[in-house]
Chain A
Amino acid sequence: NAGVTQTPKFQVLKTGQSMTLQCAQDMNHNSMYWYRQDPGMGLRLIYYSASEGTTDKGEVPNGYNVSRLNKREFSLRLESAAPSQTSVYFCASRNRDGETQYFGPGTRLLVL
């Protein structure tokens, strides 16, 4: 039982490049989340998926797209990376509303 896994762990992009951050959970959880965390700041919700087949915007969705591929996987795509998207990205999952969220180890992204 690996919990929540994220790939890659680190990534450097040039402005304008695209990439997809992968997240998978093996706990059979219904809802999944993507957050970003800038240095010295709290987490900000980008997108979430309450259940397979649904996605919704969080606080800071601009510049991102998501796909809930199946119950296990929730990916985050940057179509045209900008330096302002330099951050640490955390994926999380939760089984039902009111239960604990479990977080992945994070993906550190640097956009030059």
Chain B
Amino acid sequence: DAKTTQPPSMDCAEGRAANLPCNHSTISGNEYVYWYRQIHSQGPQYIIHGLKNNETNEMASLIITEDRKSSTLILPHATLRDTAVYYCIVRGRNTGGFKTIFGAGTRLFVKA
């Protein structure tokens, strides 16, 4: 699985959009980009994933660059409850890609 690089921490004002970047320059053609988050003391929670097209769901949007070497998770209107550690993971979809490796993630602080 490709490695990812994320900033260790970010701040965001409540009500504003939070844009969390992730670099995955060694991503291969069959690997998806997944985002999870972990609110303090809880298990990680799935947010969104994508291959090459931009994706949106009720929680967030995922923007993947055309060369797929980086992506951005967007929380359109951050709330205090969005304060968490956000993990960007790149993982293959074919058989054998069962291992999911989590890095250190980005600690997002949403401030009032």
Contacts and interface: CB of A to CB of B under 8 A. Distances in A.
A31 to B, nearest CB: 6
Interface of B is mostly: loop
Interface in A54-112: 56, 58-59, 88, 90, 92, 97-98, 100-106
A103 B99 contact: no
B93 A98 contact: yes
Contacts of A106: 41-43
Nearest to A31: B98
Contacts of B96: 97
Given A43-B44, A90-B43, A103-B43, A97 B99 contact: no
Interface string A4-34: 1000000000000000000000000001010
Interface of A: 4, 31, 33, 35, 41-45, 48, 50, 56, 58-59, 88, 90, 92, 97-98, 100-106
26 contacts: A33-B100, A35-B102, A42-B102, A45-B102, A48-B98, A48-B99, A56-B98, A59-B101, A90-B43, A92-B43, A97-B92, A97-B94, A97-B95, A97-B96, A97-B97, A97-B98, A98-B91, A100-B34, A101-B46, A101-B100, A103-B43, A103-B45, A105-B42, A106-B41, A106-B42, A106-B43
Interface of B: 32, 34, 36, 41-46, 49, 85, 87, 91-105
